[in-house]
Amino acid sequence: MAEARPVERPLSPHLQIYRPMLTMMMSIAHRITGFGLYFGALLLAWWFIAAANPTAYSKFESFVGSWIGRLILFGYTWALIHHMLGGVRHLIWDSGRGLGPNEREWLAAANLAGSIVITLILWGIGLLAMGGTS
Amino acid sequence: MSAPTHIRTPLGRVLGRGSAKSGTEHFWHQRLTAVANIPLTIAAVVILIMLLGRNQAAAAQILGSPVVAIIMLLFIASITAHMRIGMGVIIEDYVHDETMKLSLLMANTFFCFAVGLAAAYGILKLSFGV
């Protein structure tokens, strides 16, 4: 009769209870890009060490020149810019500005749109400076 | 004689180091490296894309030139310091087992120093041509 059953207590609302919002998505994206960039730093180390040696560099080049390598490099640069703009947003908030409902939404949209536009512009500058891709 | 309004000692209040005993050091260093990362990231991305399609000799020449090498060394130092604080926060947020948490925090520090040093070694080797 006196059976000890675990009591089903209500939990505080978590992610699945909320309708996805842009500000929430950009907050999550900031953490995910930061997590990804952490391991992306390995690519930099590989690149810089390989650059000293022709054989090692041809190995690196064939990776970074493949479609998957290009995708990873493009993703890495996009994540850098997205995380950078997300950081600028946080610096604005640190100053006590941009916390109103409209400003928050605008900043989140600008973070996403800006990351795509700036990444494409930087690739444009970089590709012009090298005179075409290979 | 009025009762104290809170239990913090006058010395603790003046030192302002809080319960973690490290004050706002992490907060401040995260912002400091974040601000440094803004111009360094933009420069680094353009330099990296410029390297694409160039052979090893050309890439080594660009990466080893003084301005590019110094930008890249600053970039490496700033991002790895930023990475260490950021991943530390992620670990503290999601890992609640004390042994696992401390192990991962250690591994985090090892990873950031190792990757940072490896990348810096690559740049310095190119710069000094050895």
> At residue B113, what are phi and psi to the nearest 5 degrees?
-70, -40
C-alpha span between A75 and B93 (Å, rounded): 25
pLDDT at residue B8, as a whole number: 78
pLDDT at residue A129, as a whole number: 75
C-alpha span between A72 and A53 (Å, rounded): 23
C-alpha span between B81 and B84 (Å, rounded): 5
Where do the domains of chain A lie?
Answer: 22-130
Contact assignment for B53 to A130 by CB distance below 8 Å: yes
B128 compared with A9, residue with greater pLDDT: B128
CB pairs under 8 A between A and B: 118
Domains delineated in chain B: 24-128 (1.20.1300.10)
Residues of B in contact with A41 (CB under 8 A): 79-80, 83, 115-116, 119
Is B119:A48 a contact under the CB 8 Å cutoff? yes
Contact assignment for A77 to B48 by CB distance below 8 Å: yes
Q: What ipTM does the predicted assembly reach?
A: 0.85
C-alpha span between B85 and B31 (Å, rounded): 11
Residues present in chain B in total = 130
The 10 Å Cβ neighbour count of residue A36 is 16
pLDDT, tens digit (0-9, with 9 covering 90-100), for A80-130: 999 999 999 999 999 999 999 999 999 999 999 999 999 999 888 878 876
The residue among A124, A133, A38, A23 whose CA lies nearest residue A80 is A38
End-to-end CA distance of chain A: 77
The architecture (CATH level 2) of A22-130 comes to: Up-down Bundle (1.20)
Of B1-10, B80-89, B109-118, which range is least confident?
B1-10
pLDDT at residue A134, as a whole number: 44
pLDDT, tens digit (0-9, with 9 covering 90-100), for B41-77: 999 999 999 998 899 999 999 999 999 999 999 999 9
pLDDT, tens digit (0-9, with 9 covering 90-100), for A31-64: 999 999 999 999 999 999 999 999 999 999 999 9
